[in-house]
Structure 1
Amino acid sequence: MAKKSNLFGRYVWLVDLLRRHKRLTFNQIKNYWSESGLNSDDQLTQRTFHNHRDAIFDIFNIEIRCDNKNGYKYYIDCPEDLENDSFRSWLVDSYATLNQLLVDQNLEGRIQFEDIPSGNLWLTTILQAIRENKVLTITHQGFKKEHPNTFDIEPYYLKVVKRRWYVIARSPFYSEQNLSNPNFPKDKDPDVFLVYALDRILKIETTEKRFVLKKDFDINEFYRGCTGIIPSKDPIINVVIRAYGDSVDYIRTLPLHASQKEIETQKDYSDFSYDIKYTYEFLQLILMQGKQVEVISPQKIRDDIKQVIEEMARHYK
């Protein structure tokens, strides 16, 4: 019987195995297990295997099914759902890598991870509040604020962007203010959702107050067309950029935004199209590409980038 402390690692190992090999018989899975560094000389029995299947479904909502008509091979049902779910996919990838590092001493010190230096202190508290729909009282001080402020939030989502953790939360104060305002437009949603960087939170207290989760709040709609952490109500526009040299393959394989489409491919460059909201974060994203990228349209963004480049050049005169 597997040790309880190692069960989660075994579940991730099985999911990762079927992700890589697609379809395997039980005997093939058993042989892979016997060669795994996680194995402490115990055999994978049919009973343990099916217990793992049940646990994987309960924890990850991943169903491992058996193809009885083609050699009794096991496979992940609807694997595209897993691959399209960035959180579950990240979780499996991370723990699969961690499994390998824990059991293979030859890999010690051979992998470097990008450090996220801020906000980790509050992660478990916020996750627990999200799980239980509990209101949090936070003391927060923004970069441009002289003094911290203390207020309640209703945490909905956690998000990591550019090595910083953020919580997306409904503001009870501003939402109730809108609801009590007789002049507030009836065709607009009175609920206000704000974004807080965890590294700017000085203190968190979990209250006994519970909030009702708004079922119609869509995080994808909240960030639709955005390229960073700050949401925008601006209209979505089409932007075309031209990538030169090595940046073509880089952008092609690591899109700058989910809406990216390669619309023209030439020997020396490629053009990419985006449907985005023009924000300061998008401007920063383009400037990060340096001389390898040129904005083709619209003209306003070309002009804005030209102005920034001219101001930058003055710093070096």
Structure 2
Amino acid sequence: MAANKFGRYIWLVDLIRCHPYITFNEISERWETCGLGDGKPLPWKTFMNHKKAVQTIFNILISCDASRGYGYYIEDADSLEGDSFRSWLIDSYATLNQLQADRQLEKRISFEKIPSGNKYLQTFLQAMRQNCVVEITHQGFGRSHASTFQVEPYHLKVYNRRWYLIGYSVYSEEIRTYALDRIQHVSLTNVKFQLPKDFSIEQYFEGCVGIISDPEYDIERVVIKAYGWARNYLSTLPLHESQREIASDDESITFEFRVRPNYEFFQLLLQQTDQIEILEPQWAKDAMCQMAENILSYYKKSENA
């Protein structure tokens, strides 16, 4: 019952945020066909209770504008859209609501699976909630054996279908990133820690693409030109939050980035195959040329084999 109520709150938020203003009658009509109720109009008292619960649980204020036909709207909607966690939660649960409400769609919607790393999520969440040091057994790629050590868990992040833990290694005395699918065991300890007040995950990954924080790379201006299908692809799905369009013509769009041009950034560019070209800086252009020559050499070797 509690989960059903939670789903109803999510449904209400998702409906109102998709409309600049929507009246109670329109909300009630949508409620009749959404599958979460009993096919009847939404009672006014239920609507007011849900509206209050949304504010309490999600800190989202639903207001009414009498000058616009008593239309309901979300106050400070920009703040909601800018909150990645709340937006992700609402989007995910709203989709789950629809699947539960209409079983006919169950086999017609697919989700990207995270193949591994979920096993210890609850343990890490508990550790972060209680500020407990964890002891993990971890074997990174390229390592011949696993190592066991203690970590202060600071942050969890999902990227490219993998979960990662960002934490302070008690052994090496530095902040490091660990892929959860490379962890073989984790246990809570009785040791407490304090999350540094000056720690900011945004600052830690400032200018970074991907999951590796590379302070040895300075944040630089990188300019690329996109051709063909990559023009619209990058316009609608930016490679980085700093991406900005600075020029365009009938054949290409030129984008500017402010990033740390590390290995992961080059990987993203290589995913665009032959549809992009690095223009600046020169060293990055040379590095991409070297990668292209290396790739070409592999195929030449295959032909000569």
1:267 alignment partner in structure 2: 250
RMSD: 1.6
Contact 2:33 2:39 in 1 (8 A): no
Match of 2:130 among 126, 129, 132: 132
2:136 and 2:148 in contact (8 A); partners too: yes
- 1:161/1:238 CA distance change after superposition, 3 Å: same
1:69 deviates by 4.5
SS at match of 2:171: helix
Structure 1 unaligned spans of 5+: 176-191
Matched with 2:196 is 214
Go from structure 1 to structure 2 and tell me whether the alpha carbon gap of 1:145 and 1:39 turns closer, same or farther (over 3 Å shift): same
CA distance in 2, matches of 1:174, 1:108: 47
Of all paired residues, the percent bearing the same amino acid is 49
How far does residue 157 in structure 1 lie from its aligned partner after superposition? Answer: 1.3
State the SS of the aligned residue for 2:60: coil
Where 2:286 maps in the other structure, the secondary structure is helix
In structure 2, the residue matched to 1:300 is: 283
2: distance between equivalents of 1:213 and 1:48? 41
Match status 1:280 vs 2:278: no
Cα distance in 1 for partners of 2:60, 2:82 equals: 13
Structure 1 residues 19-58: Cα deviation after superposition (integer angstroms, max 9, x where no partner): 1123223333222212211113465333332322232223
Aligned partner of residue 221 in structure 2, secondary structure: strand
The CA distance in 2 between the partners of 1:84 and 1:193, in whole Å, is 26
TM-score, length of structure 2 as denominator length: 0.93
Moved over 6 A (4+): none
Alignment match of 1:258 (pick from 219, 241, 249)? 241
Secondary structure at the residue paired with 2:108? coil
Q: TM-score when scaled to structure 1?
A: 0.90
Secondary structure in structure 1 of the residue aligned to 2:69: coil
Aligned counterparts of 2:133 and 2:31: Cα–Cα separation in 1: 44
> What one-letter code is carried by the residue in structure 1 that aligns with 2:253?
S
When the two structures are aligned, how many residues end up with a matched partner?
299
2:123 and 2:220 map into 1 onto residues whose CA distance is 38
**1:79 Cα shift?**
0.6
Deviation at 1:150, TM superposition (A): 1.3
For 2:303, the equivalent position in structure 1 comes to none
The aligned counterpart of 1:121 is 119
Contact 2:224 2:254 in 1 (8 A): yes
**Alignment partners' CA distance in 1, 2:112 and 2:29:** 35
Q: Distance in 2 between matches of 1:206 and 1:34?
A: 47
Per-residue deviation, 1:212: 1.3
> What amino acid maps onto 2:137 in structure 1?
T
Pairs within 5 Å for 1:1-317:
3-41=1-39, 44-175=42-173, 192-233=174-215, 234-317=217-300
